[in-house]
Amino acid sequence: MAQPRSQDESRSDAPPRAVGRLEWAVGAVGALVTLAVFGLLGREALSYHPAAPDLVARVTAIDRNESGYVVIFETENRGPSAAAEVVIRATLRKGDQIAEQAEATLDYVPRHSSRKAGFVLREDPGAGALELAPISYREP
């Protein structure tokens, strides 16, 4: 009477399983994605040149609420370097006088991207000239 084989012994006797078309396709797609990522990282590493961030702030909306006037703005970093602790100052002028000022600090603005935030002003920004200006940042 023959002794029963264990599962490990029966597996070693089986012929190797052929790799299916789907497995080859998934492997090929994975390899292409990996090569593309390495290519992009290499291109970025070779083309990067350090320079200061180029920060531009602009008003996107003004809403009235119980606190006053909420000025929604977007700060865009067009430069090749990121900026941290970006301070944007809003100055509302009525004629030659400064009617109100406010500041907002953005934690981080990556290169070639933008972030939105808002100011709360007591005075109506439509009754004067509202200027937005980045005044400082820190290198991350």
Quote the pLDDT of residue 36.
97
- In this structure, the answer to whether residues 119 and 87 fall within a common structural domain is yes
In this structure, is residue 12 part of a structural domain? yes
Number of folded domains in the chain?
Answer: 2
Quote the pLDDT of residue 82.
94
pTM: 0.68
Q: Of 77, 76, 59, which is closest to residue 119 (Cα–Cα)?
A: 59
In this structure, is residue 2 part of a structural domain? no
Q: Of 139, 129, 132, which is closest to residue 103 (Cα–Cα)?
A: 132
- In this structure, the answer to whether residues 70 and 90 fall within a common structural domain is yes
- In this structure, the answer to whether residues 86 and 60 fall within a common structural domain is yes
Quote the pLDDT of residue 88.
98
SS3 45: helix
- In this structure, the answer to whether residues 38 and 94 fall within a common structural domain is no
Quote the pLDDT of residue 1.
56
In this structure, is residue 97 part of a structural domain? yes
In this structure, is residue 128 part of a structural domain? yes
In this structure, is residue 101 part of a structural domain? yes
- The residue range of the domain holding 79 is 55-138
Cite the beta strand spans of the chain per DSSP E.
Answer: 55-65, 68-77, 83-94, 97-109, 113-121, 129-138
Quote the pLDDT of residue 16.
78
Segments of the chain with pLDDT less than 70: 1-12
- In this structure, the answer to whether residues 130 and 70 fall within a common structural domain is yes
